[in-house]
Structures are given as structure tokens and as C-alpha cells.
Amino acid sequence: MSGCTLTNEQIEKTKAFHGHWCPGLALGLRAAEVGLKEFGSANDEDIVCVTETDMCAVDAIQFLISCTFGKGNLIHRDWGKAAFTFYSRDTGKAMRIAVKKEFWGRELTREARIEQIMGADLDDIFAFMNPTRSVPVKAHLLASLVCEECGEKTMESRTRRFEGRTLCIPCFEKLEQR
């Protein structure tokens, strides 16, 4: 089968959520299409996506699969790769997809690139592989500590000790540099 199988309604609502139509969002729609076919939409935290990019594509995954930073089932690894790993915490199923280097090919206009992405077969866009990492654990609820420099509450795991004081990361970095 060639071309996107998402409905026009899914595409239009995702475009409205994102705010504009671009090749990155088109790529995200196709990645989300894979996620939906293989894993479905998240019922709370059961489906997890680890994204290796922070580009426009991630918005389609958030919107269509319901993986979000707030629920802890969208995890960003800042590796600059157009790659996404989906996990099902319920079944243990996992799949990493990455855009094939051959897919990028020649330079195209913005509109032509969108058309190429939306019209291509998923096997032509993505390489499918088993992930090398296990399913991420659910988000932990941790205590909040008060930064002794700025007075703001900070998640315990994001604090630093410096000269016997508990500090948030920005205050730690500021004091460390002096």
C-alpha cells in the first residue's frame, strides 16, 4: 500500500494543533501512522515514545498517539536523529523507526517534500528495527526541595549540592561559574 492511511480529519486536526504545515509535521504524521498501526493510542502511560529529535514531527506523535511530556510517556533524547522508538508497557512490544538516509535524496521544494512524504510507502521512508534499550520506567513521583539560593521548589532529582547547600540546576551553574 502506498501513501498515508490517516484520515483527512486526523491530518487537519494535527496541522491545527501544530500551527502550520511543513515537511517535519508530515514526517511526524507518517511516524505516528506507524505507531498507531503497531501500538494504538496511549491510554494514559501504556504507550511510550522515545524521540531522538525535537523537530515538528514530535507534535504529530503527541497529538495522534497521546504521548506527552506531562504524562511521562514522551521522552526526548537530544541526538538530532529523525528516529522514534515506540514501546507498549502492557505487551512489551517495541519498535524503533528511523528515516532512511536514501529517503532524503535530492533537494525538493517544501511542497514537493511534503507530497513525497505523504505519498510514499512507509517502508520507503523508515527503517524498522528492534530497540537496543528496554522500555523506560514510569515517571517517579519525587519530593520537591527548596533551592537555598532562589527559594523555588525543585524536583529532588534535579537538585545539586554545592558548598553544603541544596540548589536548583540554574543556581548551581551560576554559582559554579563564579
Local confidence band at 1 (pLDDT 50, 70, 90 cut-offs):
very low
Per-residue pLDDT tens digits for 62-88: 999 999 998 889 999 999 999 999 999
Sheet strands (E) in the chain: 47-51, 74-76, 83-88, 94-99, 126-129, 144-146, 153-155, 159-162, 165-168
Residue pair 89/64 in contact by the 8 Å Cβ criterion: no
Residue where the block lists cell 523506560:
136
Can you read off the three cell numbers belonging to residue 64? 495522534
Residue pair 159/165 in contact by the 8 Å Cβ criterion: no
The one-letter code for the residue type at 11 is: I
Can you list the domains of the chain with their CATH numbers? 8-129 (3.30.1330.130), 144-176 (3.30.60)
pLDDT of residue 135: 76
Average pLDDT of 164-172?
Answer: 94
Can you name the residues that pair with 128 across neighbouring β-strands?
A: 97
Helix (H, G, I), strand (E, B) or coil at 129: strand
Helix (H, G, I), strand (E, B) or coil at 173: helix
pLDDT at 177 over 90: no
Compute the Cα dihedral for 35, 135, 53, 100 and give only its sign.
negative
pLDDT at 21 over 50: yes
pLDDT of residue 140: 67
